[in-house]
Amino acid sequence: MAEILDAEFQKLTNKLISLQFPKAQVFRLPAFTAPPDSPFSPDQLVLNKIYFFVLNGEFPLVFALSYFILVHVCNSFIRKRQLRLANSKGNFEGSKLPAAPFFFTKGCLFRNFVLLHNIFLCIYSVWTFIGMSTTIHEISNQVLPSLFASSYSQNLEGKHVFQFEFPKSELFWQSICDLDNGIWFNNKQQNLKGLSFYSFWFYISKFYEIVDTFIILLKGRPSSLLQSYHHAGAMISMWAGVRFASPPIWIFVVFNSFIHSVMYFYFTLSCLKVRVPKALKQLLTTMQIIQFVAGGSLATFHLFINYYDMVDGIFKPCIPNADKAMALFINVAYLTPLTMLFAVFWIESYARKKSTVFKKDQ
């Protein structure tokens, strides 16, 4: 009897995940349900107040819009400085206006600030990538298998303890989609921080990253549309993912933290005057484009995933309602023009330069 039950459960574990077309409710207007519980303990009063304050929709919208407008007002001012500098020097080479940095950017205080800024974001990105990757690995390889075995044993009143192998890929999706037992909260695993924790701090980091833009402005160069759109959109996208506890937000946290680890390490080396091959910069841009295409496609794939809920004994959609779907749609809508802007940047920075050199050689 035990062997038969074991075989039946082994058969069940091979179907932890199923693929189905998304339900109609995900395409309806969102209900704007209450935000998810704070990842911080009740005694961390300040952090809990900050958590719920920044999850108000008005906060990222006002901040992102103000940032976008301010940057483009500053751009006009910077271009006038560039024109004055160019006119004072007479003719200048090239089609681009020369940089018109502010005097204090030449001092060691500013240079040290920029260096520390890049080091901090590099270390933070590495910490986020390692922490989130570890959580996904531990939940899918240790926590969920134990949970399923325990639940099934209890259903049989503890008469038999099963030993079996779970499909790794399906346990991965189970850990992503099951918000109660997966990577989101991890209430039962005090040594692990969940996606609710890492995604919140990643969301907060998007507000600090605008320092990149103002460093460019202070160095006397206008900020590009790519730069301002990238930062403003990231605030809104991360807000939506955190506010509605949408499972695909893990992609933004893991993929983007990895790219930023490499990118800010590159910026740190540049600040230290370490010569880095130009090919690395091109590779970084290429990796970012791949990140957007792969991440957006993988995020959309969540719509078709259904996972088996061991407690209720039924399959549930990974994206169960319009709120979580809206967060997904916002992210994909943001990534589409961002990918095109990066593609244009890649062509102008690398393909056209190579083409120009080739023509001159001819």
Whether 266 is covered by a domain: the verdict is yes
Whether 37 is covered by a domain: the verdict is no
Is 218:101 a contact under the CB 8 Å cutoff? yes
Query: And the tokens for 29?
Result: 């207007």
Between CA 187 and CA 41 the distance in angstroms is: 11
Q: Is the dihedral of CA 261, 143, 192, 325 positive or negative?
A: positive
Whether 48 is covered by a domain: the verdict is no
Is 247:179 a contact under the CB 8 Å cutoff? yes
Give the per-residue pLDDT at 150.
Answer: 66
Burial degree of 320 (CB within 10 A; 0-12, 13-18, 19+)? middle
| pTM assigned to the model | 0.88
Whether 121 is covered by a domain: the verdict is yes
Give, in degrees to the nearest 5, the angle at Cα 209 between 338 and 33: 70
Kindly give the confidence (pLDDT) of every residue in the chain, 362 residues in length, as a single tens digit, with 9 standing for 90 and above.
444 444 444 455 457 788 889 988 899 999 998 999 999 989 999 999 999 999 999 999 999 999 999 999 999 999 999 999 888 876 555 567 889 999 999 999 999 999 999 999 999 999 999 999 999 999 988 888 777 766 655 554 444 444 556 677 788 998 999 988 889 986 656 678 999 999 999 999 999 999 999 999 999 999 999 999 999 999 999 999 999 999 999 999 999 999 999 999 999 999 999 988 888 888 999 999 999 999 999 999 999 999 887 767 788 999 999 999 999 999 999 999 999 999 999 998 887 655 444 343 43
**Total domains present in the chain:** 1
Is 322:22 a contact under the CB 8 Å cutoff? no
Give the per-residue pLDDT at 356.
Answer: 45
Give the per-residue pLDDT at 190.
Answer: 61
Q: How many CA atoms lie within 13 A of 2 on its CB side?
A: 9
Whether 43 is covered by a domain: the verdict is no
124: containing domain: 2-22+53-361
Whether 31 is covered by a domain: the verdict is no
Whether 224 is covered by a domain: the verdict is yes
SS (H, E, C) the chain: CHHHHHHHHHHHHCCCEEECCCCHHHHCCCCCCCCCCCCCCCCCHHHHHHHHHHCCCHHHHHHHHHHHHHHHHHHHHHHHHHHHHHHHCCCCCCCCCCCCCCHHHHCHHHHHHHHHHHHHHHHHHHHHHHHHHHHHHHHHHHHHHHHHHHHHHHHCCCCCCCCCCCCHHHHHHHHHHCCCCCCCCCCCCCCCCCHHHHHHHHHHHHHHCCHHHHHHHHCCCCCCHHHHHHHHHHHHHHHHHHHCCCCCHHHHHHHHHHHHHHHHHHHHHHHCCCCCCHHHHHHHHHHHHHHHHHHHHHHHHHHHEEEEECCCCEEEECCCCHHHHHHHHHHHHHHHHHHHHHHHHHHHHHHHHHHHHHHHHC
Whether 239 is covered by a domain: the verdict is yes
